[in-house]
Chains A and B, each alone.
Chain A
């Protein structure tokens, strides 16, 4: 019994004297994946961003770290305007100010730019004059540039005839006045 106890004692003492000590530490190793921005430019314009100019038609791409604000300077050729501005399928034309469009990149994005002729302004309807019902406008009055002069001449003849009639009456009227005075 004594021997067993002694052996146990020695064993315990050895364990106590030779501890397996340890210490832990953690090194965090990390990596980040950049976002790819693809620029798809149509003809009749160019896009400048990230120190690169894409002259349409062309497609290019560049990479930025997430959270980076990227600006695009969009310049249509003379006589053209930006017709389509899509960021990953979403219409972002409202964000275009003086040819500049900016956005913060968080994921891969594709910017599609298309140029076109400005839409011709729709003709403003000329107000139709509302003529009162008692004012009758001749359906065929003389107009400048009319080549058909028959109506014009007929009108002139009628006016001339009327004028002659009035004048002839005026010429005869004084004689009657003088005859009355003599009487």
Chain B
């Protein structure tokens, strides 16, 4: 009996360790897609907004445009949520000289999101099978920051999107409260 239990335990541990989630992406015209593969049944495709250029002297720019979604969810367990979140660095960096930056703030749900803090952009609820993308993620650049930027320079910043499967219902408006 002990041997059997040990064997089952080892098997379970191995299967637990071997759950590898990885992602590969591709750009399809407008948006970009990231496929989430798991060595179990659950899988989905994360669609993120296409690369974007901000207009000169624009003080507020929507960077998501409802273009973040969780597509083709398969075998998602009940009462689970797939959350897609974004994080930002808080600075645009000059391509030719990384020491030169333009600071910005990201406003989501009418509040400033600190750099490095994930904020939920899109969700898929397995119980209702609803996929919802939240709007109004604005990059805000002050007029003074625009004016102090280097003439002729091109600046970039990465906005990282992450999706994950969590085993409860999460409402971003409540700061990730468990609704299950």
- Interfacial residues, chain A to chain B (CB-CB below 8 A): 1-2, 5-6, 8-9, 12-13, 15-36, 66, 105-108
Assuming the A-B contacts A29-B156, A34-B152, are A9 and B12 also in contact, with contact meaning beta carbons closer than 8 angstroms in the complex?
A: yes
Specify the chain B residue showing the minimal Cβ separation from A28.
B51
The contact of A23 among B6, B36, B153, by CB within 8 Å, is B36
A32 and B56 contacting across the interface, CB-CB below 8 Å:
yes
- Interfacial residues, chain B to chain A (CB-CB below 8 A): 1-2, 5-6, 8-9, 12-13, 15-16, 19, 21, 23, 25, 32-36, 38, 40, 42, 44, 46, 48-56, 63, 77, 86, 92, 102, 139, 141, 146, 149-167
The contact of A30 among B5, B48, B77, B156, by CB within 8 Å, is B156
Not counting A17-B40, A27-B50, A27-B159, a sample of 7 additional A-B residue pairs whose C-beta atoms are within 8 angstroms of each other reads A21-B164, A23-B162, A30-B54, A31-B55, A31-B92, A33-B56, A33-B152
Specify the chain A residue showing the minimal Cβ separation from B64.
A27
A15 and B16 contacting across the interface, CB-CB below 8 Å:
yes
Contact partners of A15 in chain B: CB under 8 A: 16, 19
10 contacts between A and B (CB under 8 A): A12-B9, A12-B13, A13-B15, A22-B163, A26-B48, A28-B159, A30-B154, A32-B153, A32-B154, A107-B151
The contact of A24 among B51, B154, B161, by CB within 8 Å, is B161
Number of A-B contacts (CB under 8 A): 163
A9 and B8 contacting across the interface, CB-CB below 8 Å:
yes
- How far does the alpha carbon of A32 sit from the alpha carbon of B155 in the complex, in Å? 6
Contact partners of A66 in chain B: CB under 8 A: 151-154
- How far does the alpha carbon of A122 sit from the alpha carbon of B21 in the complex, in Å? 86
- How far does the alpha carbon of A23 sit from the alpha carbon of B23 in the complex, in Å? 5
A16 and B19 contacting across the interface, CB-CB below 8 Å:
yes
Specify the chain A residue showing the minimal Cβ separation from B43.
A21
- How far does the alpha carbon of A9 sit from the alpha carbon of B16 in the complex, in Å? 11
B151 and A35 contacting across the interface, CB-CB below 8 Å:
yes
- How far does the alpha carbon of A108 sit from the alpha carbon of B102 in the complex, in Å? 18
Contact partners of A19 in chain B: CB under 8 A: 19, 21, 38, 40, 42, 165
A30 and B155 contacting across the interface, CB-CB below 8 Å:
yes
- How far does the alpha carbon of A22 sit from the alpha carbon of B164 in the complex, in Å? 4
Contact partners of B23 in chain A: CB under 8 A: 22-25
A107 and B5 contacting across the interface, CB-CB below 8 Å:
no
Specify the chain B residue showing the minimal Cβ separation from A6.
B5
A31 and B161 contacting across the interface, CB-CB below 8 Å:
no
Contact partners of A1 in chain B: CB under 8 A: 2
Specify the chain A residue showing the minimal Cβ separation from B164.
A22
A31 and B50 contacting across the interface, CB-CB below 8 Å:
no
A25 and B46 contacting across the interface, CB-CB below 8 Å:
yes
| A16–chain B nearest beta-carbon distance, Å | 4
| A9–chain B nearest beta-carbon distance, Å | 5
Of A15, A20, A23, A106, chain B has the most CB atoms within 10 Å of the CB of A23
Specify the chain A residue showing the minimal Cβ separation from B82.
A21
- How far does the alpha carbon of A30 sit from the alpha carbon of B91 in the complex, in Å? 11
Contact partners of A34 in chain B: CB under 8 A: 56, 151-152
The contact of B153 among A2, A26, A27, A33, by CB within 8 Å, is A33
Specify the chain B residue showing the minimal Cβ separation from A27.
B159
| A46–chain B nearest beta-carbon distance, Å | 26
B152 and A21 contacting across the interface, CB-CB below 8 Å:
no
